[in-house]
Amino acid sequence: MTAVAVILKGYPRLSETFIAQEILALERRGLDLRIVSLRHPTDKDIHPVHREIGAPVSYLPEYLLTEPLRVLRGFAAARKLPGYARAHAIWRRDLGRDPTRNRTRRFGQACVLAAELPGDVTHLYAHFLHTPASVARYAAIMRGLPWSCSAHAKDIWTSPDWEIAEKLADAAWTVTCTRAGFDRLAGLAPDPEKVGLVYHGLDLDRFPPPAEARPARNGGDPHDPVVILSVGRAVEKKGYGDLLAAFALLPLEANWRFRHVGGGGVSGRLEADAVRLGVADRIDWLGAQPQERVLEELRAADLFVLSSKIGKDGDRDGLPNVLMEAGSQALPLLATRLSGIPELIEDGQTGLLVEPGDIEGLSRSLARLIQDPRLRFELGAAAARRVRETFSLSGNIAGIATRFGLAEKRERAAACE
């Protein structure tokens, strides 16, 4: 039996549940997987799905200088591989256009990967088109193996066109999770037929519908405020600075409380902004949380908001899984009209949309949802239907499974019975 090596930037990660649920779903369909991570985990907790994954996990040297002997052994072994010369030439060309330490580290990690790859691995599969795909590509060329990729958000919008085009040309196939991302990749691919659109989907067994209806809060009772929830890393592209500014514009008579789940590099700055804007006493910063706690927060909230925008470096969200998770719990969704978000949220039907950076519009929509429990109920019910009809994991995983030949294997097994 042959195996597939899955190349990840970090594993396990609380913010990448969609990758873990895909790995588990492929395992359950019979694919033998080996997880290879470029970085060690930094989160203190893990999700239940991580505990259910059976694939062995190995870690490449995160920095080449920390494991010099391993890197030297990998380099010496890689140089003997039939595809090393071609991989080295491609890396030198890449380095000329991107003369960074990160580019050198990718090649060193690829040498270790190629040298240590188990003999039964016949395919490399990278999540994210930037660093993981570079390591997978170089190593696959050294070993003479096919490789493929799943592209998501930052990797699509911040990688240079030349790099995307060359990787798409080399990969056996590439999938992405939004129509906006697909259009960009297909426009750069030498062969657009090798690019596919496959939504992540949500494992609805882990997000069953809530058992009880939410109370009809309308923001009029200071002792029973409307609970607003957001789940996302505290980074620029999530737009939490805009959201805090929108909170400051809400009517004084509106009673609300905001709860934020997620880690990130600008958490301290956001807390200081909340104090400056006079809204800090209405906010709970909960930090990163495992999936069980996220589900509890979704069920206790009255509405979900995500004010995504394009970062200064071009980074942006694709279609955040947290929106699907919130929708599955019949939460009304308020988000920005960006990337793949409108593929889930139809303004006025399955949620409300505002333009990225429109703080006044965001505040008006928040006030509308705070004060109108009937609208929240209607939008939440529509969001739940939309998630179940279009964004279930069971309905979308076939787009990956068939590319690994799993459906074909099942048909052959059935024919032999």
Question: Tens digits of per-residue pLDDT, 201-211?
Answer: 899 999 999 98
Residue 163 falls inside a structural domain:
yes
Q: Do 307 and 194 share a structural domain?
A: no
Pick the closest to residue 201 from 404, 400, 395 (CA basis).
395
Q: Tell me how many domains the chain contains.
A: 2
Residue 42 falls inside a structural domain:
yes
Contact indicator for 219, 371 with CB cutoff of 8 Å: yes
Residue 221 falls inside a structural domain:
no
The whole-chain average pLDDT of the chain stands at 94
Q: Do 382 and 308 share a structural domain?
A: yes
Question: Tens digits of per-residue pLDDT, 53-68?
Answer: 999 999 999 999 999 9
Q: Using CA atoms, how far apart are residues 155 and 337, in angstroms rounded to an integer?
A: 20
Q: For residue 407, what pLDDT is reported?
A: 67
Tell me the mean pLDDT in the region 246-270.
92
Q: Do 399 and 379 share a structural domain?
A: no
Q: For residue 412, what pLDDT is reported?
A: 44
Q: Do 373 and 237 share a structural domain?
A: yes
Q: For 29-171, where are the alpha helices, taking DSSP H only?
A: 48-52, 68-78, 84-97, 101-116, 131-143, 154-158, 161-170
Tell me the mean pLDDT in the region 354-370.
98
Q: Do 256 and 190 share a structural domain?
A: no
**pLDDT band at residue 76 using 50, 70 and 90 as cut-offs:** very high
Q: Do 105 and 66 share a structural domain?
A: yes
Range of 348's domain?
226-390
Q: Is the pLDDT of residue 415 over 80?
A: no
Q: Using CA atoms, how far apart are residues 73 and 115, in angstroms rounded to an integer?
A: 8
Residue 213 falls inside a structural domain:
no
Q: Do 152 and 235 share a structural domain?
A: no
Q: What's the angle, vertex CA 334, arms to CA 354 and CA 319, rounded to 5?
A: 90
Q: Do 339 and 197 share a structural domain?
A: no
Q: Do 189 and 139 share a structural domain?
A: yes
Residue 219 falls inside a structural domain:
no
pTM: 0.89
Q: Do 256 and 197 share a structural domain?
A: no
Tell me the mean pLDDT in the region 349-378.
98
Contacts of residue 47, defined as CB under 8 A and 6 or more positions apart, other chains included, come to 12, 14, 17, 20, 290, 291
Q: For residue 268, what pLDDT is reported?
A: 86
CATH number of the CATH domain containing 400: 3.40.50.2000
Residue 216 falls inside a structural domain:
no
Q: For residue 1, what pLDDT is reported?
A: 60
Tell me the mean pLDDT in the region 328-334.
98
Q: Do 269 and 282 share a structural domain?
A: yes
Q: For residue 265, what pLDDT is reported?
A: 72
Tell me the mean pLDDT in the region 15-26.
95
Residue 218 falls inside a structural domain:
no
Q: Do 110 and 88 share a structural domain?
A: yes
Question: Tens digits of per-residue pLDDT, 140-185?
Answer: 999 999 999 999 999 999 999 999 999 999 999 999 999 999 999 9
Would you give the DSSP letter of residue 202? B
Residue 61 falls inside a structural domain:
yes
